Amino acid sequence: MTTLLLIIIYIAFISLGLPDSMLGAAWPVMQGELGLPLAGAGLVSMIVSGSTIISSLFSGMLIRRMGTGKLTLVSVLMTALALLGYSFSQDYLWLCLIAFPLGLGAGAVDAALNDFVARNFAARHMNWLHSFWGVGATTGPLIMAFMLNQTGRWQMGYRTVAIVQFTLVAILAISLPLWRRFPTPPSPQTATGRGKRQRIRGMTPNLVAFFAYCAVEASTGLWAASFLVEQRGLSSVLAAGGASAYYLGITLGRFLNGFLSSHFDAKNLIRGGQAMILLGISLMFLPLPILSLAGLMIIGLGCAPIYPTLLHETPRRFGAENSANLMGIQMATAYVGLTLMPPLLGLTVDRFGLQLYPFGLLLLALLLTIGTERLNKVLAEQNI
Determine the pLDDT at residue 303. 94
- pLDDT number for residue 193: 47
CA distance 17 to 251: 11
Whole-angstrom CA distances from 312 to 159, 248, 315, 380 are: 33, 22, 7, 18
- What is the pLDDT at residue 35? 85
Distance CA 229, CA 28 (A): 8
For the chain, which residues make up each domain, given as ranges? 2-177+194-381
pLDDT of residue 185: 62
pLDDT for residue 250: 86
Right CATH number for 2-177+194-381 from 1.10.490.10, 1.20.1260.10, 1.10.10.1590, 1.20.1250.20?
1.20.1250.20
What are the pLDDT digits (tens) for 303-312?
999 999 999 8
Q: Given this model, what pLDDT does residue 209 score?
A: 96
Q: What is the pTM of this model?
A: 0.75
Largest CA distance in the chain: 62
The confidence score (pLDDT) of residue 196 equals 45
Residue ranges in the chain modelled with pLDDT below 70? 183-200
Residues 6+ apart with CB under 8 A from 222: 23, 24, 27, 41, 42, 45, 342, 346
User: What's the confidence (pLDDT) of residue 191?
Assistant: 47
Q: Judge whether 336 and 215 are in contact, CB under 8 Å.
A: no
Task: Give the whole-angstrom CA distance, residue 235 versus residue 225.
Answer: 9
Q: How many whole angstroms from its chain centre is CA 160?
A: 21
Q: Measured between alpha carbons, how far is 39 from 345 in angstroms, rounded to an integer?
A: 9
What pLDDT was estimated at residue 188? 58
Sign, Cα dihedral of 354, 358, 364, 367 = negative
CA distance 175 to 285: 48
In what helix (H) or strand (E) does residue 287 lie, and over which residues does it extend? none
pLDDT in tens, 263-293: 888 899 999 999 999 999 999 999 898 899 8
Residue 281 confidence (pLDDT): 96
